[in-house]
Chain A
């Protein structure tokens, strides 16, 4: 079995320091070809830095780990990687003072594409932007900017897409369309690594990785990640939930207490301790307590709480 062809991304033990800050610590990631891989973690956890190392924008610290991206060495063959990877930055990074067509045309030139005109026309047609092709891209709304960015990084027909929080600030309808497109692309064999903060998006990925403060904390399918954390969650309904949640937080065995409208979700790792705490606080018959499935969000918040912030932000 050839690892280079089976994995779109296969990196092990990558590190990155910015000055004294250890931003990414022993980062390892395997993304299979044709897979949509979700990349999650709190703000400032090193997601963007990791993505930049994978696509050759940043050089990992020397002598620490190695890896391949599309079979190319991430340390030495960055030029080849750049040619076959589409990278969509977190912020809109096309030229706002160029028109939509000029932007696409420029990107096509940067990749040295042969049939530039056809490719740009095709991309405009897929976007449904032919009629607005001569509009300045700076005048587009957030959702359209995002679609244009995606079209720009698909133009050179990459084998791997790296999307850094692609749907931040985009409305739900546009997000749903976006994900439909991502799934269609993956069905055609494109591999996708996407970072996000949205749980519904995380659940749409084939597999997930959770990174916090430069360390990879959990990987697997959504279900695997949830079950691996062995969390127990109960839903409470009843009167005066606010004082109840304060009381519960003080008790041992209670991890998180999260209000969801008229219910309270209580999560903990030790089921017997958690049950004892619940019994102590909800003896009143007005309360109804029932066990429910832990969600991805419960798991991530629990992971985030457990991760030590090993460097001070700014």
Chain B
């Protein structure tokens, strides 16, 4: 007779809790991951991004033009609308990604408006991430029809402006058709590299330690630098193969444009790989086993994918989340890859996104060195 024993059953439950309590990292993950998800999904992520930076290139300083700009700000979709004087200045802002929109108000705007001749307003939108700009463009279209209704009521009397008073032309820069793949496929390059580089290097080193083979390796004349770099190189090669595959697919399957210099793209990819590898190695020297290395990777990967602008628009997030996201290399890498492939950016324009990745790498190396020493002795 061997029936279900309640006391045996409680014994197993008790043992499981004791082991869970001993494995602090797993326990931390069980609590930490839901809290993180709650914060990110609840507060940070916003599929309807507002407060987008915009610039106005106005050749007409009339009250009508000012009313229109104020109406843009009041809509909540545009923030800190800056006035620029020259066209090349506006071009630079949008190429760098400093603004998402440039609104061109033509010279004879108010004259044509008063005559009821439907002056054109040209809105250039950075459409590298279509989901980030679509709602704002929709709002602009509404503004074109309504913003000036009160001002015009005085001059035009009761005559109803049968068509909209303004002819709003939207120019979706870099991705005129608003194809999501243009945004997602280059982004995948970054997410897949993050995952492989951090996880594989993390596992490669902890596996040796977990199985006891690390000791054997250390007993040979092999230098730590040989061991470490030797273990990493295969994963760099795997990473490059992944990059090659995704790049080829982007060109021939998804027809994503490649406006920039492939050499620049390669250089940026190398920097990104290096940053992720250093993190992977640091994780591996902190983690005591492969499971922990995996958990740490996951804990880093989750915000990377959610906050970087890969899944949800970066500009849609509150400031604290943007600040947090700007620590992550993937956030900058996405801007870099899209900048190179879709906008044709060159190194000087890319530098503002490159140095944060280098800084991240430096900090991680310094942290990693402290831990690596400890594992040897």
Residues of A within 8 A of B (CB): 55, 57-59, 79, 82-83, 85, 87, 89, 91-96, 107, 110-112
Contact for A92 among B212, B218, B219, B377, CB less than 8 A: B212
Decide if A110 touches B213 in the complex (CB within 8 Å): no
Residues of A contacting B213 in the complex (Cβ-Cβ under 8 angstroms) = 93-95
Write out the residue numbers on chain B whose beta carbons fall within 8 Å of the beta carbon of A79: 221
Q: Known contacts being A58-B377, A59-B377, is A91 close to B219, with CB within 8 Å? A: no
> When the two chains form the complex, which single residue of A57, A83, A85, A96 contacts B215, counting CB atoms closer than 8 Å?
A57
Q: Is the CB of B221 within 8 A of A83?
A: yes
A111-B212 in contact (CB<8A):
no
Interface residues of B (CB under 8 A from A): 211-213, 215-222, 377
The CA-CA distance from A256 to B12 in the complex, in Å, is 40
Please tell me if the beta carbons of B215 and A89 are within 8 angstroms of each other in the complex: yes
Instruction: Give A92 to B216 CA distance when docked, in angstroms.
Output: 9
B220 — which chain A residues lie within 8 A by C-beta? Answer: 82, 107, 110-111
Q: Are B221 and A87 in contact (CB under 8 A)?
A: no
How far is it, in angstroms, between the C-alpha of A107 and the C-alpha of B222 when the chains are bound? 10
Q: Provide the residues of chain A in CB contact with B217, threshold 8 Å.
A: 110
B214's closest neighbor in chain A, by CB?
A93
B contact residues around A111 at 8 Å (CB): 220-221
B208 closest partner in A (C-beta): A95
- With known contacts A58-B377, A96-B211, A82–B216 Cβ distance under 8 A: no
The binding surface of chain B is classed by DSSP as: helix
CB distance from B3 to the nearest CB of A (A): 37
Residues of A within 8 A of B218 (CB): 57
Beyond the given pairs A55-B219, A59-B377, A112-B221, 13 more chain A to chain B contacts, judged by CB atoms under 8 angstroms and listed by A's residue number, are: A57-B219, A79-B221, A82-B219, A85-B219, A89-B212, A89-B216, A93-B211, A93-B213, A93-B215, A95-B213, A107-B220, A110-B221, A110-B222
Name 21 A/B residue pairs within 8 A (Cβ), A-sorted: A55-B219, A57-B215, A57-B218, A58-B377, A59-B377, A79-B221, A82-B220, A83-B221, A87-B219, A89-B215, A91-B212, A93-B212, A93-B213, A94-B213, A95-B211, A96-B211, A107-B220, A110-B221, A110-B222, A111-B220, A112-B221
* A contact patch SS: loop
**Of listed A59, A83, A95, residue having the most chain B CB within 10 A:** A95
Expressed in whole angstroms, the Cα–Cα distance for A89 and B222 within the complex equals 17
Instruction: Report B226 CB to chain A, min CB distance, Å.
Output: 9
Chain A residue at smallest Cβ distance from B213:
A93
Point out the residues of chain B lying under 8 angstroms from A83, CB to CB. Answer: 221
Whole-angstrom CA separation of A206 from B274 in the bound complex: 54
Chain A residues with CB under 8 A of B377: 58-59
When distances are taken between beta carbons in the complex, the residues of chain B under 8 Å from A87 are 219
In the complex, the 7 A-B pairs of residues with the closest C-beta atoms, listed nearest first: A110-B220, A93-B216, A87-B219, A93-B212, A91-B212, A82-B221, A93-B213
- Smallest distance from the beta carbon of B122 to chain A beta carbons, Å? 63
> B303 → chain A, closest Cβ, in Å?
34
Note all chain B residues with C-beta closer than 8 A to A55: 219
The smallest beta-carbon distance between A91 and chain B, in angstroms, is 5
Q: How far is the CB of A61 from chain B (nearest CB, A)?
A: 11
Within 8 Å CB of A91, what residues of B? 212
B219 pairs with A94, CB closer than 8 A: no
Q: Give the residue name and chain of the B residue nearest to A95 (CB).
A: B213
For B216, list chain A residues within 8 Å (CB). Answer: 89, 93-94
Query: Which B residues lie within 8 Å of A93 (CB)?
Result: 211-213, 215-216
Q: Roughly how many angstroms separate A87 CA and B212 CA in the complex, as a whole number?
A: 13
Which residues of the partner chain B approach A82 to less than 8 Å between Cβ atoms? 219-221
Chain B residue at minimal CB-CB distance from A91: B212
Complex alpha-carbon distance, A168 and B218, angstroms: 22
A86's nearest neighbour on chain B, judged by CB, is B219
Most chain A CB neighbours (cut-off 10 Å) among B213, B219, B377? B219
Residue of B nearest to A85 (CB): B219
